[in-house]
Structure 1
Amino acid sequence: MIELSHIHRFQAGRGSHAPLLLLHGTGGDETDLLPLGEMVAPGAALLSPRGRVLENGMPRFFRRLAEGVFDEADVRLRAGELQAFVAEAREAYGLPAPVALGFSNGANIAAALMLLHPGTVSGAVLIRPMVPLREPPTADLAGVPVLVLSGAMDPIMPAGEGERLARQLETAGARVLHRTVPAGHGLTQMDAAAARDFLASLARPTAA
């Protein structure tokens, strides 16, 4: 494995899917979402970094001050570090801009990455995200495809949080599909199926 700024796993791809940037939830690591990536985008290259922040020994992508209260200065810092990692990895592995696939904390840093560093990813699947920046910068996400998957019975997310993030991204110009599935905070087969369909639509060639 090539040494880069983040501990990571990389699996080379084949076929028409864009590479996936896999971003785990709190307490996960660089191996957590590899099976999901293989399931939802068969043949895609998979780039999976480990979050560099530890909370009680559990890896995360940025600090939080309390449950649901983010350290927004750290969000901005870590999003910049992740942007630099993606640039390193693209050069090292010869990749086009990846599509982010993030769960929970990983979905939050993916959203921050798009808003703070447009162009780093070419699209995103955000599973159980929250709004990472209450006052995001003006970003140009014109036409960037995004799927937001909220859980109807999610005990962690404030009501309407997924919708608020979807509106933020739409205001920046992204093409956002927001779905609420009958689930809690955890990953489900419904999430996998929705992500697979969404990513397959991106891989399909468009008519001239």
Structure 2
Amino acid sequence: MSTNEKNITGQELVGYVHRFIAASGSVADQQPTPTLLLLHGTGGTEEDLLSLGNMLFPGAAMLSPRGNVLEDGMSRFFRRLAEGVFDLDDLHRRTGELTAFVRAAAETYHFDPSNVIAVGYSNGANIAASMLLSSPGVLRGAILLRPMVPFIPDQLPDLSGTSVFVSAGRMDPIVPQAQTEQLIQLLQQAGASVHANWLNGGHGIGLEDVRAARSWLVTNL
């Protein structure tokens, strides 16, 4: 393991097993550089999105936690009652835990807490969206791959200055198109700048998602 890589195997930093990889090469000399918060989908681990992070922003710092909720042995970031039906009490609690984790990690690993970009897929995208809607300012921006509406806040946050990339599949059997459109509308109403990337695909992510997200990341952040 290189000196710029940390692998935490215990329940540390508010209960998350995670990986942290510091910025490397020429990227480490650039100021400011973002830290990518990598949030896997159902059944994933802290390893799953590291290669995606490298493709999106080679050499960037990456913080990748493992969801600490188990569903039939599969890791998730929050509980659900059924497919597409979220346990909202648990969602809010876990969102608070993840927010605290990011802040604690910034102190531990000495990265800028105001320059964190979430990269979330499916369940990870949903909790990233929940962070945007409930904890404005924690994320500078987000790449949401196959997200749903996590919850509808009583009062919209102020997300002005926040940039969000949403990538969705028109033939996604898990996420209805209307769900993604509603999330985009919520984020825009809150003041976020949202770029929607619609693909003729399903729930899985592919190179088209990566290319579009990387182009958006370079242009906007």
Asked whether the two chains share a fold, i.e. TM above 0.5, the reply is yes
Gaps of 5+ in 2: 1-5
**Any idea what the Cα deviations from partners look like across 1:67-100, whole Å, max 9, x if unmatched?**
0001111111000000000000111111123100
2:180 aligned to which of 148, 152, 162 = 162
1:8 aligned to which of 15, 18, 21 = 18
Q: Distance in 1 between matches of 2:111 and 2:190?
A: 25
Gaps of 5+ in 1: 204-208
Map 1:45-194 to 2 at 5 A.
45-96=61-112, 97-194=115-212
RMSD (CA atoms): 1.2
Aligned with 1:160: secondary structure? Answer: helix
2:48 aligned to which of 32, 39, 54 = 32
**TM-score when normalising by structure 2:** 0.88
**Any idea what the Cα deviations from partners look like across 1:125-153, whole Å, max 9, x if unmatched?**
00000000034542111120000101011
Q: What is the identity, as a one-letter code, of the residue corresponding to 1:157?
A: V
- Per the TM alignment, residue 106 of structure 1 is displaced from its structure 2 partner at its CA by 0.2
Aligned with 2:198: secondary structure? Answer: strand
**TM-score when normalising by structure 1:** 0.94
Aligned with 1:62: secondary structure? Answer: coil
- Overall identity of the aligned pairs, in %: 53
Q: Distance in 2 between matches of 1:4 and 1:172?
A: 30
Instruction: Say how many residue pairs are matched.
Output: 203
Q: Distance in 2 between matches of 1:144 and 1:138?
A: 14
Q: What is the identity, as a one-letter code, of the residue corresponding to 2:62?
A: L
Regions of 4+ moved over 2 Å: 134-138
Q: Distance in 1 between matches of 2:162 and 2:220?
A: 11
Q: Which one scores higher on RCO, CA 8 angstroms, separation ≥ 6?
A: 1
